Structure 1
Amino acid sequence: MMPTAKAPVPLFVLRYGLLGLPLAFAALPIYVHVPKLYAEQAGLSLALVGTILLLTRIVDALSDPLIGWVSDRFLSRRGLVALALPLLAVGLGGLLAPPPGAGGLWLAGLLVVVTFGYSVATINHGAWGAELGESSDMRTRLVAAREGFGLFGVVLAAALPGLLATTLDAGLARTGGVFVAVLGLVALVSLPGMPAGRRPVARPESPWAALRGVLADRPFAALLGVFALNGIAAAVPASTVLFFVADVVRREDLSGLFLAIYFLTGAAGLPVWVSLARRVGKARAWLGGMGLSVAVFAWAVLIGPGDTLAFGILCALSGLALGADLALPPALLADQLARRPEGRAGACFGWWAFVTKANLALAAGLALPLLGCLGYAPGARHAAATEALTAVYAVLPLVLKLMAAFALWRWRRIMEGEMQ
């Protein structure tokens, strides 16, 4: 059931997109703050914390396609999101405020709870938007609203611990409380009265057959490949930007400002990409975003010590390109799903979530060892070290972006062939 004429479309889009704020909020502390919190405050060894995080991330990523398959068979998208949110609230709230004596079992158990709740919520939130969009433009607007609110959620999660307290443990405990309150309020605004999404369809097929069947769809598999290449290209500089700011620009004190510029420009630029997609098509608009990224990475090669203003402008332009990466790929996927009557949006978004998480792992696994092999170590500022850092931060993503652009061009050819 689609939104009726009585409900203003902008309000419907905002209500759907608003849920992206707490979902993005939840992701950042797990990756940024939890390792430091449990190593310093809970007294766990770095080896134990790292092992627990690695194992839960592997299980989390591998389970996403299966969660997507299950989601296509039980309950509505809205119902599954509603069931996942309490798990997310309990898991993250407890994770950020561990009781005295909390150890590895507490960390591992709550990571499983929070990552499972997060996966169910995000996969079904994405599939829900794909199913509710009644036109190509509406699907783009729904995705842009979700990703725009998500960017504000990331900024909020990054800023709150330092604003709420002077110590990490107190700041994170209060941040967890704020998160639970925000999640509850957003759920009350976003869920009641909204269309439930497509009804689940029971099929006599195994999960592996269904998931293989989704990947056998050539346009989807090709788009997933473009998304993977482009995602790694974006994740490499994300994994190395703080090193670049500290040892190339040499303004580590401005790291927070640079990141805020990046995320806020990304959110502000989303309407630009929605408008451009409406005029020239989503694939062409995404190619334009990739072209902007290539130009930004080429410019980054020229950045040196003290180039604060230049790097700030570079962050703004790369943030603008980020808007294209956030809004257009899921909107293209939603358009593909709209042409498929079999209703496997959950399985498709399950694979999408798997690739998103794999991109982050692959980028870190590629970029950080490569830096070491090239002779860079944190704090090293001699010419060979900074040249190696610049090559990994700027040149490697540039090459990967060009590869992604070529793959996207080929995907357009595949789609043209499918439609003939």
Structure 2
Amino acid sequence: MSEDDSTVRLPGRRSEPSRYPDDVPDQGFGYGDYPSDEPTFDPGYAAPESDRTLTLPGQTPPGALLTPPPPPANDRLLVHVVWELLLVVLVAALAVFCWRVEPAMFHSAGLRLIAVQAAALGLLAMAVSVSLRAGAPNLAVGAFAAVAGLLFARAYEHNLPVALIPGLGVALVAGLALGVLVALLHVPGWAASLAALCGGLVATTLIGHGAAVTVADGAPDPRRWAYVWFIAVAATSVLAGVFGLVRPLRRAIGAFRPVADPAERRGPGAALMVVLALTVSGGLAGLSGVLSAVQVRTAVGSGSILPQLLLALGAVLVGGVSAYGRRGGVFGSMLGVLALVLAVQFGTMRGWPGPATTFGVAGGAIVLGLVVTRLVEWGGRRRESARMLGV
């Protein structure tokens, strides 16, 4: 036996090209031509020659796992359209029921009262909605409204513009301060707004000394312009919903929403948007408080903070705005407002206890709204099968 023959050769070792020529098709180590229906050896990405990976036909190479995931699915409007159509039917059925049981609700004075109440609650619902869509839920809208109403009642002396300045000014400044706090510390909006809620409770106690403040005689009666108020608020709400359908605008408003790490800062643009959103939220809440005070001729104070907040939140969630703030409809919020106003007014006409009626309606609306949130999130996502097909 020669010295060459005594050398132990391992399979696949190519130290001698003359004994292992490269031009001979290798049926076991990934060289040569293969039919398309037979297994092939794919080296993967940056794999050494001695470490071949078996890839069957139709399989994805291991290196493909390093490709980025597909972009998030676009919002789907169909679920909002279907739900808002159902809301129209529900509101119509509720109105017919109330009319059959309590016809006085729909007399001239009753309709005007419902229109003004819907306008006031609609403003507060928009205040909640804009903060939700910005990713910083404002739970102090009821406090802002109560403080604005008290300040207006205190300041009114037959001069409407002068009386509006302290109420609306304080609400705007409070919303701005809340937005700066949320943006500067990058904390959840609901947590920071609880501090603002406590501040509102203290302010209402100091301003009203724990009692309601009566609006002076001569203040304009919003029921004279009830339908104008309602149409203006409804048109503003619908217009805001239409703007929310524009993808760049929607993403800009919701830039503060967390994507992966909630504590990670989202940048100066997101901070600016959350400050703007909470300032607008405060202003809308203040206007709602003033309208409510003028309508009932009394500023209740701290007693209205929680009921108004819960009713507004329930109306927004029932209307189809996701509790996560990612999605929202067009007509849903005002339809939810109408449903809640009709329900509360019906309870009042029937002589039910006020707090029980208000909290019962608000609690039921919030529970239903959470169900709607789950339906909206489920219906607004692209299915896995559609993602695999690339549609």
Which TM-score bucket, shorter chain as reference? 0.3 to 0.5
Bigger Rg over Cα: 2
Which has a greater percent of helix? 1
TM-score (norm 2): 0.33
TM-score (norm 1): 0.31
